[in-house]
Structures are given as structure tokens and as C-alpha cells.
Chains A and B, each alone.
Chain A
Amino acid sequence: MSAKLLEVRNVTRRFGGLVANSDISLEVAKGEILGLIGPNGAGKSTLFNLIAGLYPPTRGNIVFAGRDITRLSAPARCALGIARTFQVVRSFDSMSVIENVVVGALMRHAGARQARHKALETLELTGLLARADGPAVELTPPEKRRLEIARALATEPELLLLDEALAGLTPSEAREGVELVRQIRDRGITIVMVEHVMEVVMPLVDRAVVLDLGKVLAQGLPSELVRDERVIEAYLGARHRAA
């Protein structure tokens, strides 16, 4: 395996009495697509937000490119090369599509003109160029998901965190989304994606970590995990018993 880009070391996060993440450790290698999966309430989003810097862990450390980033704010992490999307799309609705992306591009391009150029490139990659001058608020839901990805990519990250970016899409939209994720990886960007639907994520990822009840249940190659008894139990257990 190539060099580690991200390391989560024994991370625990409590919300009041609820332990959302309990002693989670995992590694992300440079250049891979890692899937973070698990049933509802497994703690995927919490872990995701801990890596993105939305809130700090109660215990444990997060190391990015050899640097301890546990206490760094979200903007500081963005400057180091971590970008994210949100599960519930958060576009800047008073702005045009390209202006949304310019906000991200300003991370590494101080001049508005260069930032705009970068934004155009990113919109092209994400297939939104035709909508560049239109209001962000008028995008369709799948387009808004692409806008989130475009905005994050415009910050020129090393690590891209995708929070259910493929959820709620039609099969053909999901296929396009999968294609986009591959293209992003081919540009040398490491990807961690949280996904609820196994069918979508398993063919795409190099490796997956399965969370259940706030703990790492299993991790490994997708082909191994889909046959893992514990994973099947966590996902299908209730349904199996009912049947």
C-alpha cells in the first residue's frame, strides 16, 4: 500500500450521553477511494464531520499528511488540502453557479480573475459549464450535488470527502456520478465517501470501512465485505429475521 494520507487514531466522539463514535481507527492511502458505509445511525456522518473539522473529537487524534490536525478549524483544514461536500446540499443560493465555485477557488487563487478561470475549469469537469451564469437556486437536485463537488474541487484538495453525494439519484444520474468520482480520482485526488447504499458504492471504491453502532465492524476489499457475515447481519439482520 502506498503512503498514508489520513489517519484516524482511536477517535471517540460523544454528544451528551450518546457515543456516536467509539474508539475508531482507520487509514486512508494516497490515491485511493475509501468507502465509509454502514446502516443508519452507525456514526458515518459524525466521523465524516470529525475529519472535516466541523467539531473536534472527544478523544483521539486525526493526522493528515503527517500532521496532527485534531484541533484545526474547518477553514484551516481546507487550506491544508481537505475539502468536503454536505449530505444536505448547501449551495450559496443568492449567487450564480459560477460565483459559488469562485468562493472555493479563492482558496488558492487570491485574484478574482484567476479564481474565475479556475471555477470555469472545475465547472467543465463537473458538467455544469452550461449553467455557469444561472442562479444556483434554480439548479435541479442532481445538479446541486455536482455544484457541491465543483465547489469543493475548486479548493484544489488532496483529500475530498463526499457525504452521500450519490444518494437520491436516478440510476443513470448515479452512473454519471460514479464516472465523475473516478475522473476526480484519476486526477490524483484521494476520496473518502460516505454512502448508505451498498450497490452504488461497492463497485466504485478500492476499500471500504463498515461502521455499526459507532464502531468499526469490518474493513477490507469490497468483494470480501459483501460476503462478510457480520456486515450482512448489520445491514440485513432485521430484515432477515422479519422474513
Chain B
Amino acid sequence: MASRETASQGATATSSEPHIGLGATHQDIDHAASLIAFARRRHRQLAIAALAAAIFALLPLAIQDVYLQNILVLTLMYAALSQSWNILGGYCGQISLGHAIYFGIGAYMSTLLYTHAGVTPWLGMLAGGAFAALVALALGYPFFRLRGHYFTIATIVVAETGLLLVLNWDFAGGAQGVQIPYGPDSWAHLQFARDKLPYIYLALGLAVITWLVTFVIEGSKWGYWWRAVKDNAEAAESLGVVVFRSKMAAAALSAFFTAVGGSFYAAFVSYIDPDSVMGFQFSLLIALPAVLGGIGTLWGPALGALVLIPLTELTRSYFGGSGSGIDLIIYGVLIMVIALARPEGLMSLFGGRPTARRGR
């Protein structure tokens, strides 16, 4: 904070003295101070992330209850998925409600490669990610000509179409789905029947990687370009940003990591069918944590998942069989409360960031 004050004092001196070029050394020092302050803010984010990751790495050692461990896996997984969604929806401003299709591609790709060809899910995960990225590019080519709500509607339609295709695809098990055969616990096959711990660490790894990717992007050319595209595409173009290519890049990256998450989920539940990995609820569940936590922010998706997933899982089990649909009611109420009270998401409660707060 001290360095910021120095910067503004120096600037006040200039604005009362419009002729630039005087006291250049003084200004150079101010610029250096500003750059250092910026680097420090970035480092602080990394430190917080390292601390959070450490806490989540130790947490499962304290939690022995399988049910709670299950919630932990899902929370970390949705943090990663929503972080991936946030790349396209939050930073680039292209709201997709069809990410279930990428999730499904990841789940089916690794599962089918494993059950039909014995390919390790690690490779299947990459193949699914790559294929999802290609699908995102193929869809982006026509869809990124649509603006705002029209783009969102198109993503919903495509995801529903994908669901119907898989439902009628015999090789992929049709409506019955695919069962991953039981085997001994194995890192190569990502199968752990007796122990949830490896899944917790896999999900944590996924959450950390997607966070890091977002962190790097936020400080890179693409991060600035995407936010510029979101805020005002025409102004962005006038500053040299190729809007269409920016959207395509965001879509491909977002789809890649969403599919990786889908592969992980398939390995975790070891049984997939079209509705359980490509249903519309996944598109919602992937987007909601980011919306709840703070769309287009570095921490929003993780924070949102941390609130949303345990809440819905716990209430679902509390109400048991009589409460089917309770989780949907909770989503609805949460969205309404957030939209009314905190449209910027939960991250806006932490006013520490000196940069913009609105619309992020």
C-alpha cells in the first residue's frame, strides 16, 4: 500500500505541471515502484493459492468419513470445471450453458478408449481434451458470430443435440451407458475401489492446474485481450485485438480442461451413461460456482464451488428420497440472492483488490 501512495504523490506533482519530461528520473522511480507493487500483488495471489492447496492436501487426512471425502472430491472437481468454464464465460464473456458436451466428450473418450482398447485413462484424458478443443473450435466458427444471449442459446441446443446423439450411439452403450470393469487399485488405470484418497489428490491436482492456468492467463496478453473482448469488442479491435481468434482460443482452452474433468469424473464414478455426464444439469453445475463466486475472477470459481457443492450435497442427503429436486431449488434461490445482493459474486465481499470491481 505504501508504494501505491508514492505513485499517486508523484502523479499529483505531474498533473499540476502538465509539461512532461521534467523530473524524468523521479518518474522512472515511480514507474518502477508501480511495477514492483504489481508484481507483489501477483506473488501474494500465488502464496494464497499455495496455502489453500496445502490445506486441502492435509484435509483428507483428517476426514475419515467416506461420504465427506466424496463431497471433497466433488467440490474440488467442480472448482476445476468452473475454473475452466470461467476462461470462456468469465474472462472472455462468452456465456456457455452447454459445457456438458465437453464434459461428456472427456468422460466418454477416456472410458471408451479404456474399455474397448485398454488405453490408460491418462492418455484418454488428453485425447478427450484435444477432441473437445477441436469440437469447441468447430462450434465456435459459426457461433462466435452470434452475440450475447443468442450465443448462449446456441450452446444449450448443441449440448442437447450431443446428448441425443450419444443416447442413440450403440458403440458407446446407448442409453445404458458404459461400466468400467473392476480391477485392482491402480494409478495407471485410475481405479481405486477401496480408497478415496487418490481421487481427492487427483481432483486437487486438477483444481490447482486450472487455477494456475488462469493465473498465468490473467497476467498474459490473452488475459487482457479476453477481458477487452468481453467489455467492448469494437474498442478491442481498434487496439489490435483480433476478437474472433481471441474467442476461439478461449473456447478451445476452456473445452480442453472441461473434458479432462469429465475423464476424471468417469474414472471416479466408474460408470457413465448419457444423462449422468451430459445432462443439462452439468452445464449448470459447471457454470454456477463461477457465477456464485465471481465471474471472471481468479478465485470466484473455487470459492463458489466451496459454498455450492457441500451445500447441495448435504441438503440432498438430509432430505433423502423425499427431497429430490431440493438441490435445484437451492440453485435457484442462490442465483436470485446473488443477482439481487451481490451481482459481482462472493469475491466482491473481499474488497482487497485495488482494481475494478464492477462487472467482474
A174 at the B interface (CB under 8 A): no
**Shortest CB–CB separation between residue A206 and chain B, in angstroms?**
22
**Shortest CB–CB separation between residue A236 and chain B, in angstroms?**
34
- Bound: A103/B30 CA distance, A: 21
| Contact flag A121-B235 (CB < 8 Å), given A94-B356, A112-B219 | no
B40 at the A interface (CB under 8 A): no
User: Do residues B355 and A95 form an inter-chain contact, with CB atoms below 8 A?
Assistant: yes
User: Do residues A117 and B224 form an inter-chain contact, with CB atoms below 8 A?
Assistant: no
| Contact flag A84-B238 (CB < 8 Å), given A103-B224, A113-B35, A179-B18 | yes
User: Do residues B355 and A78 form an inter-chain contact, with CB atoms below 8 A?
Assistant: no
User: Do residues A120 and B356 form an inter-chain contact, with CB atoms below 8 A?
Assistant: no
Interface of A is mostly: helix
| Contact flag A83-B239 (CB < 8 Å), given A130-B8, A179-B18, A183-B20 | yes
User: Do residues B239 and A103 form an inter-chain contact, with CB atoms below 8 A?
Assistant: yes
User: Do residues A135 and B224 form an inter-chain contact, with CB atoms below 8 A?
Assistant: no
User: Do residues B31 and A120 form an inter-chain contact, with CB atoms below 8 A?
Assistant: yes
Interface size on B, residues (CB 8 A): 44
**Shortest CB–CB separation between residue A93 and chain B, in angstroms?**
6
Interfacial chain A residues near B34, Cβ < 8 Å: 120, 132
User: Do residues B239 and A107 form an inter-chain contact, with CB atoms below 8 A?
Assistant: yes
Interfacial chain A residues near B238, Cβ < 8 Å: 52, 74, 78, 83-84, 86, 152
Interfacial chain A residues near B139, Cβ < 8 Å: none
Interfacial chain A residues near B230, Cβ < 8 Å: 94
User: Do residues B354 and A95 form an inter-chain contact, with CB atoms below 8 A?
Assistant: no
B232 at the A interface (CB under 8 A): yes
Interface size on A, residues (CB 8 A): 50
Interfacial chain A residues near B8, Cβ < 8 Å: 129-130
A198 at the B interface (CB under 8 A): no
A104 at the B interface (CB under 8 A): yes
Which of A75, A99, A113, A151 sits near B355, CB closer than 8 Å? A99
User: Do residues A129 and B14 form an inter-chain contact, with CB atoms below 8 A?
Assistant: yes
User: Do residues A137 and B356 form an inter-chain contact, with CB atoms below 8 A?
Assistant: yes
- Bound: A93/B227 CA distance, A: 10
Interfacial chain B residues near A211, Cβ < 8 Å: none
- Bound: A2/B27 CA distance, A: 35
- Bound: A132/B358 CA distance, A: 16
B220 at the A interface (CB under 8 A): yes
Per-residue interface assignment for chain A, residues 123 to 152, with 1 indicating a CB less than 8 Å from any chain B CB and 0 otherwise: 011010111111111000000000000011
- Within A204-240, which residues are at the interface with B (CB < 8 Å)? none
User: Do residues A95 and B20 form an inter-chain contact, with CB atoms below 8 A?
Assistant: no
| Contact flag A92-B227 (CB < 8 Å), given A135-B358, A136-B356 | yes
- Bound: A176/B296 CA distance, A: 36
| B residues lining the A interface (CB < 8 Å) | 4, 7-8, 10-12, 14-15, 18, 20, 27, 30-31, 34-35, 38, 219-221, 224-225, 227-228, 230-232, 234-243, 296, 354-360
Known: A92-B228, A129-B8, A131-B11. 8 other contacts (CB 8 A): A75-B241, A92-B232, A94-B358, A95-B231, A99-B224, A106-B221, A135-B357, A136-B356
